[in-house]
Amino acid sequence: MNRLPAPMGLLIQRDQPLDFSFDGHPYQGLQGDSIASALLANGRFLMSRSFKYHRPRGPLSMAGQDANSLVQLPQEPNVLADAHALSNGLAVTAQNVNGTLDHDRDAYMGKFSKFMPVGFYYRSFYKPKGMWKVWEPIIRKKAGLGVLDLNFQPEYYDKAYLFTDLAVIGAGPAGLQAALTAADAGAKVLLIEQQPILGGSLTYARFDIAGTRADNLRRELLSAVQQHANIQVLTEATCNAWFTDNYLPVIQGKRLYKVRAQQCLVCSGSFDQPVIFRNNDLPGVMLTSAAQRLIKLYAVKPGKRAVVLTGNDDGYLAALDLHDQGVDVAAVVDLRHAPADQALAGALAQRKIRCLTNSTVFEALHEKGLRHVKGVDVRQITAQGQVSDKGQVIDCDLLCMSAGYMPVYQLLCQAGGKLAYEDSRAEFSLSGLPQNLNVAGSVHGRHQLDNVLADASNAAHDIALALGLSPAAARTPLRSEAQVNFNWPIFPHPKGKDFVDFDEDLQVADIVNATRIGYRDVQLVKRYSTVGMGPSQGRHSALPTARLVAWATQRNISETGVTTARPPFVAEKLAHVAGRAFDPYRQTPMHARHLQAGAKMMPAGIWQRPAYYGKAEDRDACMQAEALHVRNKVGLIDVSTLGGLDVRGPDAAELLNRMYTFAFLKQPVGRSRYALMTNEHGVVIDDGVCARLADKHFYVTATTSGVDRIYQQMLKWNAQWRLDVDVANVTAAICAVNVAGPDSRKVLEQLCSDLDLSAEGFPYLGVRQGTVAGIKARLLRVGFVGELGYEIHVAARHGLALWDALMAAGKAFDIRPFGVETQRLLRLEKGHVIISQDTDGMTHPAEIDMGWAVSRNKPFFVGRRSVDILEAQPLKRKLVGFSLPKGSVQPLEGHLVLNGPDISGNVTSCEYSASLGRIIGLAYAGIDQSTPGQCIPIRVEGGIVVQAEVVQLPFFDPTNQRQEG
Amino acid sequence: MTSLKAHELLTPPCRLIDQTDLPRVGFRGAHSAEYLTARGFTLPDAPNRATAQADGSWVARLSQNEYLLLGSPADQGQRIADEEARWELDHRAHYLLPRQDSHACVLLSGTVIAQVMAKLCGVDLSFPAFKPGAVAQTAAARINVIVIHSGSVEAPAFHILWDRASKDYFDGALRDALEEFGGVGLADRA
C-alpha cells in the first residue's frame, strides 16, 4: 500500500488492516479509512462513471461533497465512497456502468455530446407522434445511478431530542473557539461536527510556511474543549436543516436528533471551488483540499508528480504539503499576477518549485481512455476567461486546483439569509439572518486564521450576552485580509468538456446556451439544464453558474444570485424521518381475555376491539352465530371504549341541557336519557346517554371516537358560560360490558345481591348503583342491540374480574362473548344509527328521524338556531331503511343511491341478517324516494344496479318488547 | 466535553418501577385545597409543582384547583386509598378524579432518565430546566403524560403517568427508549 509515514494519517489505525473488495478485486485498507482513501492507497483512482457521458471519475473533494465517488454497496446504492467508513469484508461495486467500470460500453456517449445539448431530451423524443413510447423504456433503463436492494430488511432507526443553550454547527477552528468562549461564559454548548474528528480545516490544511500552526492550534483547542464540562460534542453528525426557532435536525448514525437550541452559531466553513477548464474532471484532478485531506487524514500520497492550480495563497501552502510528503511538485500555476504573501513565493523557490503566475491550465491531458491525468497544457491568461494561443505542457499525474471558496450557505439561506456578491472580493457574503442565528469563520468571509478565531470569539461573546451571561473577554478587532477568490476561474475550451457541474456533465456551453434559449433566471437555468440538481446540490457549480449566467445575461452576480437552498443539506434516508414512529393504541382491561377467546381484533379509533370471535375467514359465520346467540340466549360485549364523562356540580343538569338537544333539567335520578349533540351548524356530531346518578351528578356516555372532542366542547362552553360544574373524562378510568339477550337478567342475578333486577325494579332506561360480583358498579338498562341488556360500568382496575365473573356466572346460560361487528349488525336490525357511520358532516336531526330527540320547550342548546333554520326548509334527503332478498348482491358502505341520472345518496350500513333472513341496510335517499314500499336503485360492485325496497324502521322487534322486557 | 454518540451513553442503568397498582387519586375544585390541607397534606404553592409528604406520598398540583395524590410504597398507598374511599359528593366544589384507574404510573430513576425521556418527549426534562419538584404536563410518544420530578439533583427520579388504556403501548415505547441505557425491564413493581 502507498501510505505516508506518521504523523500523517490522523484517522487511520495502521495496525488494524481491513480486507474489502471493489468490483470483485480484493484490496486492503486500514481502520479509519473511507472506501475512497483505501482505494487510493491501493493506487485505484477510477471509482465511478459520470451520469450522462460515462466519463471516468475519481474523487474530487474527499469530503463527501461530490458525486464522483458514488459507489454501490450490497444493500445501499449511491454511497459516497469518500465519506463512508471502510469495514472488514465490505463488498463495493461500481454503479451506473454498462459492462465494467474499466470498460464501460457507454463511454462512447461523450463523443456524441454535441448532439445531446442541454434539454435535448425535452424536445427530441416526442416526435413523430407516438415515438415517446419507443424511447421511454430505453431512457428509463439509462436513468438513475445505483440499484435498490428490494429484499432489504428494515433496520432500527430512532429519534431523540437534544436541548442546549447554544448549538455550534461545525467544529473547525471557528466552531471550537466559539464553543469555548460561550462555554466559558457559562453557556451549555452542543458542538456538531460532520467528520469523525474535531478540527475542521485544522486537520488537513496548512496555515503557515513552517506547517506547524494548524497542529498546535488544534491540539490546544481540543484540549480545552475536551476538558470543558459545558460542551457536549456530536461527531459524525450532520445538521441537515435549519427550521424556525433553531429547530435543528441532526443525523448521527441511525438516529435523528431534534435539537432545540436557544442560540445557533453556524461555523460551517466554505467549499473549495474548482477551476473550469477542459478535462477538469479526469481522475487525478482534484481540489487542493482533497489532496491535503488524503495526506493528513489518511496518509495517502495522492500522486508522484503534481501541478497546483490556484487562485489564492492556499495553493502555495498545499504545494509545500505535497513537497514535504515527497511529491514532486512540477509547478504552481497561479491565476493571479502574484501571491498576496511574497514569502510563499520565496518558500517555493527555496524548494525549487516553479511558479507560473497569470496563468491557468487550459486543458488537462489524459491517458488512453481518459483513465487518468497525465499532464497539463498551461497558458497565459490574456483577458477574462481567455488565454494565449500557445502554452507549455507539464507532465503530471496529479492536478490540484483551487479557485477560491464558496461559503457553506445552505442552512443560513434556509433560515432566510440573503447572499450578496462582493465584486471587490469575488465572493458571496451573507446577511439578513433571523434573531438568535449567528455565523462565524470562513462561512462569514473570514479566511485568515487569526480573523477566524476572533470572529468566532466575537460571535460567542454576543451570544453569551443574548443568553444573559457575562462573557469573560471583550470583543476582538479583526484585521484586513487578502482576497481568496479569483474573480473569473473559467476558461472555456473550443472543444468543450470544460465541466461546470460534474454531477450532470454540464459544460460551460450548456449553461450559456440555456441563457440564450431564454432562460435568463438562474432558477430557470437550473431547471432547464439540471445544474445543481445532482447529488452535490451545486456545492461546486453554484458559483461558476452564477458567474456564467451573469456574464451571459449582462447582469452582475448579485442580481443573478444562486438557486434556492432547501432542506435537507445532505441526502437523508427515509428511515431517519420515519424511524421509530410512535403509533399509539389503547386496550381495554379485558384485552387479554379477548385474545384468549380467539378474538379477531379491529381498530376503533386508536382502540383495539374484538370484531368477532373466530378466524378471519369465518367472519360472516362467526358474526351471524354470535348475533343469533344474543337474540336467543345471552351474550357479553366489552364496551369499555365507550366515552365516559362525569358531570358534577350544582349546574350539571344545566350544562347538559345546553349541550344536548334533549331536556335534562327534570330528568329523574336513577334514569338515563338518550342524548344527541349538534354543533353550531345544527349538524349531528355525537350521541350517548345521560345517566343521572344523583341530583348533581350525571354520568354521560359518548361515542368511542367522539368523546375527546365532546369533552373539549364541554370545557370550552363551560368556560364561556361559567357554570358551577366539573367535567371529568373518565373514559379510561371506567370500563364497561353489556350483558345482552333474553337470559341476561338471569346471569346478572347470579352476581347481584343488592339490586332489584326485576322489570319493575330496574326498568328499561333505569340506572342503578350497586355491586356486581362484589365490585362497585354503575348499571344502565340499555337497548342498543335490541335485547334485554345491562351495561355494567366499573373502575378499570376491576374490569378483568368483572368479565371473568360474568363469564363464569353465565356458563349455565351458555353465555358467549360477541364483538363489535356483531353489535353493529344487531343495532342495524333495530335501526339504531351510529353517529359518524350513518351520519356525515351535513346530517341534521330531521334527516335521520331524530326530531323526537330535540326538545322544543327549552330556549337554547348548541345548534338550536341552525336546527330550526334547517328544519324550516324542505328536506332534500333522508336516512332510510332498505331491504333486499337473501342472495342478492349485497351493497357495501359507500355505494351510491341513484335517482334517475342523479346521485341522491349512499349506503351507510348494510349486512345480512340471519334473524330476518334478508339483507338490510341504511342509506341516504332523495326525499321523493324515502317512503316505505318505494324502490331505491343502488349501484353496487361492477356497476350493477340493484333495486332495494325502502322499509319502515326498525327491521326487528318494532314494538320494542324484547329490549324493554 | 461529553460525547453524545448513543453507544457511549451506557452509563449507570435506570430503574423502572411499575406503580400502576399503587393507590393514587385526584381532587379538583375550589374547595380542594382547603379540604386536603385539613386532611394533613402539604400542598405545593403553585401549579405544576409537587411536594413530598412526610409519609412518602406526593401531592402534585396540576392546575390552580387540581391536585394529584400519589400513594407511598411505605404504606402500600393505604393513606391515599382511604382518602379516595371517604370522599363523597356534597355541597362543596371538591370533586374526586379516579387517577388510579385513569392513569398508569411508573417511577423512573437514574442519572440518565432525562436522556431516556428525550427519546420520547419534546420538553427538556434535564436539570436545571426541570428541577426536583417540577411537574410537566406534556406529550411523550404522542400521548399525554404527566411527569413529576420526585427525585433530587443527585438522584433524579420521575413519576410518569399516562392513559391507563395505553399502558401496553407506552410501556413498549419506554422499554424501547431504555434499551440503549441498559435500564431494567418493567418487571419491578412497587
ipTM of the assembly? 0.93
Using a CB-CB distance cutoff of 8 angstroms, which residues of chain A are in contact with residue B104?
none
Within 8 A by CB and 6+ apart from A709, the residues are A685, A686
User: Taking a contact as any Cβ pair under 8 Å apart, which residues of chain B between 61 and 90 contact chain A?
Assistant: 89
Q: Find the range with the poorest average confidence among A176-180, A367-371, B178-182.
A: B178-182
Nearest to A665 by CA among A863, A866, A868, A857: A857
The predicted-structure confidence for A86-122, as pLDDT tens digits, reads as follows 999 999 999 999 999 999 998 888 787 777 778 777 6
CB atoms within 10 A of CB A212: 11
- In angstroms, the CA A644 to CA A555 distance is 70
- Asked if A61 contacts A288 with a C-beta cutoff of 8 angstroms, the reply is no
Strand-pairing partners, residue A374, are none
Beta strands at A158-169 and A255-266: parallel, antiparallel or unpaired: parallel
Find how far residue A407's CA is from the centre of its chain: 27
The model's pLDDT over A910-921, given as tens digits with 9 standing for 90+, comes to 999 999 999 999
Q: Does B9 touch chain A (CB under 8 A)?
A: no
Q: Distances in Å between the alpha carbon of B143 and those of A381, B37, B103?
A: 67, 32, 12
Q: How far is A727 from chain B (nearest CA, A)?
A: 9
Question: Per-residue pLDDT tens for A588-630?
Answer: 999 999 999 999 999 999 999 999 999 999 999 999 999 999 9
Q: Do A732 and B165 lie within an 8 Å CB cutoff? A: yes
Grid-cell match 324502521, residue found:
A953
A538: left (phi > 0), else alpha (psi -120 to 50), else beta? left
Question: Which residues, other chains included, contact A177 with Cβ-Cβ below 8 Å and sequence gap of 6+?
Answer: A221, A452, A453, A456, A457, A460
Q: Residue type at A397?
A: D
Residues in B 147-176 with any Cβ partner in A closer than 8 A: 163-170, 173, 176
CA atoms lying within 13 Å on the CB side of residue A519: 20
- For residue A888, the distance in angstroms to the closest alpha carbon of chain B comes to 42
Structural domains present in chain B: 6-19+102-179 (3.30.1360.120), 24-100 (3.30.70)
Helices (H), chain B: 32-38, 78-86, 99-102, 113-118, 167-179
Q: Which of A257, A582, A588 sits opposite B165 (nearest CB)?
A: A588
CB A177 within 8 A of CB A199: no
How near does any CA of chain B get to the CA of A204, in Å?
A: 23
Angstroms from A617 CA to nearest CA on chain B: 28
Judging contacts by C-beta atoms under 8 Å, the chain A residues touching residue B102 are 730, 732-733, 796
- CB atoms B119 and A228 under 8 Å: no
Residue B1 has what pLDDT?
56
Q: The C-alpha cell of A887 is what?
A: 342472495
CB contact under 8 A, B103 and A732: yes
The alpha carbons of chain A give a radius of gyration, in whole angstroms, of 39
| pLDDT given at position B2 | 57
Residues of B in contact with A232 (CB under 8 A): 1-4
pLDDT score of A126 more than 90:
no
How is the beta sheet containing A354-356 ordered, strand by strand? Answer: A285-287, A398-402, A305-310, A328-334, A354-356
The answer to whether A396 and A306 have CB atoms below 8 angstroms apart is yes
Chain B nearest-CA residue for A735: B101
CB contact under 8 A, A586 and B98: no
For residue A501, what is the enclosing H or E element?
strand A499-501
Question: Which tens digits make up the pLDDT trace of A700-734?
Answer: 999 999 999 999 999 999 999 999 999 999 999 99
CA distance A149 to A879: 52
Q: Mean pLDDT in runs of 10 for chain B (190 residues)?
A: 46 81 97 97 98 97 98 97 95 96 96 95 96 98 97 96 98 93 55
Nearest to A787 by CA among A820, A743, A736: A743
Chain A residues 628-687 with CB within 8 Å of chain B: 640, 646, 648-649
Q: Which of A158, A159, A162, A163 to mutate to test the interface with B (most CBs of B within 10 A)?
A: A163
- For A834-886, how does the pLDDT look when each residue is reduced to its tens digit (9 = 90+)? 999 999 999 999 999 999 999 999 999 999 999 999 999 999 999 999 999 99
What Å distances lie between residue A817 and A219, A601, A635, A750, B3, CA to CA? 73, 13, 5, 18, 55
Average pLDDT over residues A458-464: 98
pLDDT recorded at residue A562: 87
Question: C-alpha dihedral over A622, A626, A631, A634, to 10 degrees?
Answer: 160
Question: Which residue's entry shows cell 358498579?
Answer: A777
Listed in sequence order, the DSSP H helices in A228-313 are 288-298
> Using one digit for the tens of pLDDT, what is the confidence trace for A665-689?
999 999 999 999 999 999 999 999 9
Nearest by CB to B124, from A163, A255, A648: name it.
Answer: A163
Confirm or reject contact between A586 and chain B (CB < 8 A).
Answer: yes
Per the listing, cell 431530451 goes with A121
Average pLDDT, chain A: 95
pLDDT at B184: 58
Cβ contact A582–B101 (<8 Å): no
Interchain proximity A796–B29, CB inside 8 Å: no
Q: Is the pLDDT of residue A194 over 90?
A: yes
Half-sphere exposure of A208 (CA within 13 A, CB side): 10
Which domains can be identified in chain A, with CATH numbers?
13-101+277-402 (3.50.50.60), 158-271+406-466 (3.50.50.60), 490-574 (1.10.10.1100), 623-641+733-817 (3.30.1360.120), 643-730 (3.30.70.1400), 827-855+875-964 (2.40.30.110)
Q: What is the DSSP string of A675-736?
A: EEEE-TTS-EEEEEEEEEEETTEEEEEE-TTTHHHHHHHHHHHHHHHT-S-EEEE-TTTEEE
Mind spelling out the 3-state secondary structure of B150-190? CCCCCCCEEEEEEEHHHHHHHHHHHHHHHHCCCCCCCCCEC
Q: Among B100, B115, B142, whose Cβ lies nearest the Cβ of A797?
A: B100
